[in-house]
Every structure is written in structure tokens, then in C-alpha cells.
């Protein structure tokens, strides 16, 4: 975490979690204690039982206070029971403490045979952790059309891009690839691509490139060993990291870290798997390796490496859990844990344990208005309308209603395709329309009174549910055109 002297005892919040959580967390805790790490555990709770007590977030105040104090947490998987709570408690914890970087290492494991064995897979997925569709802002705009807001910021993109480069440096990794869908979502996904490419020159020691995310998925299956670090947006990272963990034996071997500039939370990628709870059969490796990430974050590099060596030695010996061997033949969770503890101090001869340096976290301006344009103009207004009319009927009506205002109807689209004025395209339409109005003269001078006047007129005949001002920033369009729009 830093080059500062490590304190005698380091407080860490520990959350056992739900389902198999208490078993795998107990395993990791026992191994961390056995290696002599100076951790002072503060046990806290979150998840199913908390939801059932009526805490809508699934995270009680006592747990939030503990994390705010320790600034570090090791947690088991949490579930959101059906009928209780609203948001995922896992996501709540990540977002409450601005743990903007989700780090998911993926590497081949000894003794775990997969179609990719021997290929040398050893990569890290760095996923933006608080923005994108995971902001969870959704609306039913009409009874049959749902909307989700995909929020990607320049500031969030710069933090995750710089984090990825810094993480590569800390582990001596020579390359970083950025995976986005910027070819389609040019403003949102395109923001990460542009920011990534703008900060890359600050890291001349690291080779970098951009890859379209669907090609990244293709390449991960075809030639995964080409990647060291992949940085991507939240939804893309969720999907790609689960794909990549399957290449090396499954989620039982998939650790993760949620890291922010103030707080870090460490957990397995897998869920609570309630059907295996209490049976002493589950693979705790993911949480054990998550604790290794935690120890390195805390600057306890020797203890972290000792645990990683012991895990590899244990796997090399053929001590494997039920997810690998079959649950009727696998080593029990407790016996697997005892084997790793027994192998502490031994070193693998065949598997690399990286020498890791302290991670330098990016520090950016705290200004909310992170991007400060020198010029901005308003050129029009998008009004989202619910109507059972045809595109032509709606277009004629809105054109008439806009007469006498400073705005005129330019076009109407349905699901991103221009349908009025007609282009000859064949497209299915719904009762959800984006109606684009442009200023008749003097763009940049759209007053609220102009907006109110137009909406009042539209409301005489139609139902509108949402508006967006069409902005230009420093001469660049701040909105996209629809398919077929010129």
C-alpha cells in the first residue's frame, strides 16, 4: 500500500457472508493467522440476515462504521433474498466507499486440468467498479419499454485507466489492453477509449492497445496468453472476468479486490452457493487468494507470497477440492485448509510467484466539474414521447404543435432508428419515440421558457416522459445521431 512502516497490528473488517461464506472466510482467516500476518480482525455482518431484519441495503450501520474505521475488509459472498431488500449488498459495499477498481487475477493453477493447461495463462482483469449500467438507474418509460442509464465519466475513466497502468507496474507486467464497445457507443464506451489513449503516454514502459470488447472475448478463448492486464468498463468487466476464470478451472479459483483511494474490500468472485453450505466440500481458494491480494495491499509482501507458495505446493501435491475432483472424491474444505497451513514455508519449484511492488494509486482532482469546457451551446431538445400513433401521424402532430415556438421538429426515431421523415427503412416501432427538435435560429440561446412552451404544447395531445438538451462542448457534439439521421 505504501512504503510506510507497517503497524504492529492492522485492523481488518471481516464479513463471513452467506451460504458457503462462513466456511471459505474461516479458511482464509486461519491461513492468514497461521502465516503470522499481524491482522486484528473485526467481525461484522451483511447480507441475507440483515435484509430480513428490515435493513434495505443489507449493510447495517455497525458494519459501515467498522469499514470506515479499518479501511480494509475481507468478506464472503452475500445474497439478496427474494422478497427482502432492493439493491445488491455486494454492490452497495463497493459503491459506498468508492472502490472504483475491481481487480480479478486469472492464472493457470497446478493440478487443475483444463483445455488451456500448459498455455501459461496469467492475466489481470481491471474492471471499473462504480459507473456504467451498474449505477442502477432505470425507468419504465412506457408500460412496454424500459430504460437504463449508462453513465461513463471522464474522471472515472481516468482513474481506472491510470490504476490499470499502475497495477501493471506493481506486478512487472509489460502490457495493458483496453476493451470497450466504442465502435457502437461512441460517447459512453468511447470515453474510456479516449481517456485510456490520452494517459498511455505517461507510461512509456508499458505497451498498450485498444480492442473491441467482443474481439477481446474472442481472443480470450482463442489465445488468452497474449494478455497481461485488460482494463474495461463495468458491465464488460463483469462478463469478461467470469469468462476468463472459466479458462483456469472456474470461480473457485477466482479472487478479487475492490480498491479505492480510501478503502479496499477483498472477496471471491463466486456467489454464496447455498446448496453446498455446511457440507465441508467447497473450494476456499478464491477467498484465500483474495486474502493474498489483501496482504499485498497492506504491504505484507512476505506473508502474501508465503501463502501463494503454499497454495501452489498443495495443489501440486494433488490435494484438490470437490469442484475439481467431484464432490464425492474431493478433499474437504477443512482438510484442504489444514494442508495449506502445513505447507507454509515451502516453495513451489514449477510455478511463478510474482515479486510485487507497492501499488501507487492515482490521485485526481476532487472537483465535481472535472471537465471544464471553454464553450458550450444548446442546439436543440430531445423529447421522449409515449404515443400509439404511427410515426407519420406523430410527426404531423408534433410539427403542428411546434409552430410558433423557437423549436422545430427535425426527426423522430424508434429504438435508435430514424422513422420520420420516412427514409424507406423497414423497422418495427413501439409506443416509445425520441422526437428531436432543433432551434430555428441562434443555437446556444435556448431558454427554459422555450422548453416549457414546447412541452406545454406537446402535452395537449401527447404524453412525454423525458427530455434531453442537445449540447455542444467546445464545438463537439454532445449527443449521437440516430441510424438514418444526417
Catalytic positions are 134, 181, 214, 238
CA angle 376, 382, 383 (to 5 degrees): 140
Using the structure block, give the residue that is written with the C-alpha cell 404544447: 457
Q: Buried b vs exposed e over 185-220: b needs ≥16 C-beta within 10 Å?
A: beebbbbbbbbbeebbeebeebebebbbbeebbebb
State yes or no: cis peptide before 423, omega within 30 of 0.
no
**SS3 label, residue 412:** strand
Q: Please answer whether residues 435 and 384 qualify as being in contact, where contact means their C-beta atoms are separated by less than 8 angstroms.
A: yes
H or E element that contains 257 = strand 255-259
Give all strands (DSSP E) within 16-97, no chain letters.
39-43, 72-75
How is 326-394 classified by DSSP, letter by letter? -TTTSPPHHHHHHHHHHTTT---SSS-----PPP--------SS-S--S-EEEEEEEEEEE-SS-HHHH
Contacts of the segment 241-244: beta carbons below 8 A, 24+ positions apart: 241/102, 241/104, 241/106, 241/125, 241/127, 241/269, 242/269, 243/217, 244/104, 244/106, 244/123, 244/125, 244/220
Q: Are 182 and 169 in contact (CB under 8 A)?
A: no
CA–CA gap between residue 467 and residue 455 (Å, rounded): 9
Distance (Å, rounded) from C-alpha 220 to C-alpha 313? 27
**Residue 420 cell numbers, joined:** 420520420
Instruction: Take residue 442 and report the three cell numbers written for it.
Output: 441562434
- Cα separation, 19 vs 4, in Å, equals 38
Task: Give the whole-angstrom CA distance, residue 47 versus residue 75.
Answer: 11
Structure-block grid coordinates of residue 325? 475432483
Amino acid at each position: 500500500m505504501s512504503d510506510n512502516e507497517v503497524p504492529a497490528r492492522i485492523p481488518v473488517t471481516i464479513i463471513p457472508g452467506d451460504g458457503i461464506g462462513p466456511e471459505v472466510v474461516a479458511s482464509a482467516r486461519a491461513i492468514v493467522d497461521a502465516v503470522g500476518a499481524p491482522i486484528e480482525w473485526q467481525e461484522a455482518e451483511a447480507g441475507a440476515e440483515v435484509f430480513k431484519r428490515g435493513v434495505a441495503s443489507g449493510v447495517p450501520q455497525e458494519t459501515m462504521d467498522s469499514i470506515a474505521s479499518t479501511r480494509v475488509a475481507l468478506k464472503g459472498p452475500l445474497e439478496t433474498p427474494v422478497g427482502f431488500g432492493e439493491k445488491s449488498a455486494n454492490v452497495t459495499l463497493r459503491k459506498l466507499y468508492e472502490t472504483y477498481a475491481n481487480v480479478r487475477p486469472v492464472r493457470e493453477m497446478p493440478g487443475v486440468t483444463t483445455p488451456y493447461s500448459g498455455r501459461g495463462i496469467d492475466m489481470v482483469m481491471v474492471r471499473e467498479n462504480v459507473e456504467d449500467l451498474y449505477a442502477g438507474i432505470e425507468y419504465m418509460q412506457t408500460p412496454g419499454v424500459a430504460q437504463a442509464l449508462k453513465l461513463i465519466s471522464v474522471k472515472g475513466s481516468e482513474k481506472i485507466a491510470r490504476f490499470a497502468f499502475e497495477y501493471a507496474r506493481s506486478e512487472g507486467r509489460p502490457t495493458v489492453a483496453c476493451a470497450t464497445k466504442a465502435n457502437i457507443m461512441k460517447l459512453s464506451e468511447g470515453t474510456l477509449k479516449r481517456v485510456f489513449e490520452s494517459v498511455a503516454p505517461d507510461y512509456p514502459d508499458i505497451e498498450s492497445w485498444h480492442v473491441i470488447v467482443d474481439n477481446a472475448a474472442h481472443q480470450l478463448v482463442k489465445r488468452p496468453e497474449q494478455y497481461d492486464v485488460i482494463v474495461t468498463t463495468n458491465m464488460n468487466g463483469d462478463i469478461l472476468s467470469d469468462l476468463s476464470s472459466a479458462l483456469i478451472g472456474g470461480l473457485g479459483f477466482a479472487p478479487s479486490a475492490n480498491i479505492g483511494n480510501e478503502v479496499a474490500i477483498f472477496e471471491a468472485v463466486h456467489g454464496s452457493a447455498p446448496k453446498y453450505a455446511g457440507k465441508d466440500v467447497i473450494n476456499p481458494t478464491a477467498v484465500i487468494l483474495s486474502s493474498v491480494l489483501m496482504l499485498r495491499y497492506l504491504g505484507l509482501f512476505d506473508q502474501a507470497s508465503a501463502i501463494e507458495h503454499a497454495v501452489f505446493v498443495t495443489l501440486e501435491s494433488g490435494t484438490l477440492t470437490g469442484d475439481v475432483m467431484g464432490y464425492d472424491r474431493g478433499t474437504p474444505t477443512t482438510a484442504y485448509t489444514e494442508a495449506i497451513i502445513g505447507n507454509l514455508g515451502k516453495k513451489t519449484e514449477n510455478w511463478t510467484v510474482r515479486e510485487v511492488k507497492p501499488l501507487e494509486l492515482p490521485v485526481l482532482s476532487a472537483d465535481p466539474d472535472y471537465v471544464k469546457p471553454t464553450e458550450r451551446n444548446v442546439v436543440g431538445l430531445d423529447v421522449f414521447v409515449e404515443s400509439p400513433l404511427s410515426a407519420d401521424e406523430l410527426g404531423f402532430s408534433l410539427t403542428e404543435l411546434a409552430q410558433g415556438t423557437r423549436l422545430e421538429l427535425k426527426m423522430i426515431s424508434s429504438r435508435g432508428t430514424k422513422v420520420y421523415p420516412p427514409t424507406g427503412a423497414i423497422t418495427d416501432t413501439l409506443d416509445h419515440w425520441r422526437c428531436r427538435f432543433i432551434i430555428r435560429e441562434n443555437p446556444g440561446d435556448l431558454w427554459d421558457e422555450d422548453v416549457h412552451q414546447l412541452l406545454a404544447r406537446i402535452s395537449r395531445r401527447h404524453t412525454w416522459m423525458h427530455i434531453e438538451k442537445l449540447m455542444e462542448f467546445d464545438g463537439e457534439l454532445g449527443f449521437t445521431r440516430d441510424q438514418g439521421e444526417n
